[in-house]
Amino acid sequence: MIVSIPFHHTMYQADLTKPIIASYPLQSGNENPSAFHVPEPHFEPLSIGDFIGSKALGGSVNCDVLTIIPHGNGTHTECVGHIAKEPYFIADTFEHFHFIGSLITIKPLKTEYGDDIISEQMMRTCIEDTIAPQALMIRTLQYPNDGSKKIWSGNNPPYFTPEAMAYIVAKGIQHILTDLPSVDPEMDNGILAAHRAFWQYPFDTRTASTITEMMYFPEQLVDGLYMVSFHILRLMSDASPSTIVLYKLFQQNLL
Ligand SMILES: [Zn+2]
């Protein structure tokens, strides 16, 4: 099934029968990427009175209770509700779910104080001369690129400078997606400077913008343009576990 998508005076096509899933599966136990030292996801059969939600244990159906922490258990999409005093919910954030996205691969820069950062200059080098996509996917390859879990907790992962984020905003990019566990440092005393710069909170809040963290970019994925499809739970919360589905974009007639 081929769809045609106009974008900046060019017609692109995508083949909906060739999805690329760019998220980790979310499963009970320790086979997930993890960050911020949060407990791992836990799924267990519902148990009420005589009822047990497990066929293996003699119940009539399987019925699990899921305990998850979206920000630390795997791929998730968050809205400004993550840093706002006011209630903003991921369920209310999207007016639609498909966007033109660009995937870029960069190696974070080692600073003299030992942190790895993504700077404004790096962003300029990558996207200054291009038409800004609606969604920018930033692959850093800081994890084993074979689908195995990544333990970020206590490892001081790379992060974006607020200036890099301000530049991304100035380019008009609505959604950021990255394989890093956060756009800010693991420990920053709650400043969250890059998150704030991205959402322009609280002075000019970008309520329709999202950040997706702990993406999984399959090894064969090449940099370039994709249709990005967001799949979230309709949660009245700041974030949701998410499945991001990509479709390679081709200029029309080149499919
Ligand atoms: Zn998060």
A 10 A CB-CB count for 150 gives 21
- If pLDDT is split at 50, 70 and 90, which confidence band does 142 have? confident
Work out the percent of the chain whose per-residue pLDDT is above 70.
Answer: 96
- If pLDDT is split at 50, 70 and 90, which confidence band does 255 have? low
pLDDT digits (tens, 9 = 90+) for 155-186: 889 999 999 999 999 999 999 999 999 999 99
Instruction: State both tokens at 212.
Output: 């997706």
Residue 202 Cα to ligand 1 midpoint, Å, equals: 18
Rounded Cα distance between 118 and 133, Å, is 19
Residue 91 Cα to ligand 1 midpoint, Å, equals: 16
Residue 83 Cα to ligand 1 midpoint, Å, equals: 10
Residue 52 Cα to ligand 1 midpoint, Å, equals: 33
Whether residue 56 contacts residue 47, with contact meaning beta carbons closer than 8 Å, is answered with no
Residue 17 Cα to ligand 1 midpoint, Å, equals: 30
Instruction: Report residue 157 CA to chain centroid gap.
Output: 15
Residue 186 Cα to ligand 1 midpoint, Å, equals: 11
pLDDT digits (tens, 9 = 90+) for 2-41: 999 999 999 999 999 999 999 999 999 999 999 999 999 9
Rounded Cα distance between 199 and 195, Å, is 6
At residue 128, the pLDDT reads: 83
Average pLDDT over residues 56-70: 98
Whether residue 248 contacts residue 102, with contact meaning beta carbons closer than 8 Å, is answered with no
pTM: 0.95
Q: What does the chain come to in residues? A: 255
3-state SS assignment for residue 140 = coil
Work out the percent of the chain whose per-residue pLDDT is above 90.
Answer: 85
Residue 70 Cα to ligand 1 midpoint, Å, equals: 7
Whether residue 93 contacts residue 79, with contact meaning beta carbons closer than 8 Å, is answered with yes
Residue 90 Cα to ligand 1 midpoint, Å, equals: 12
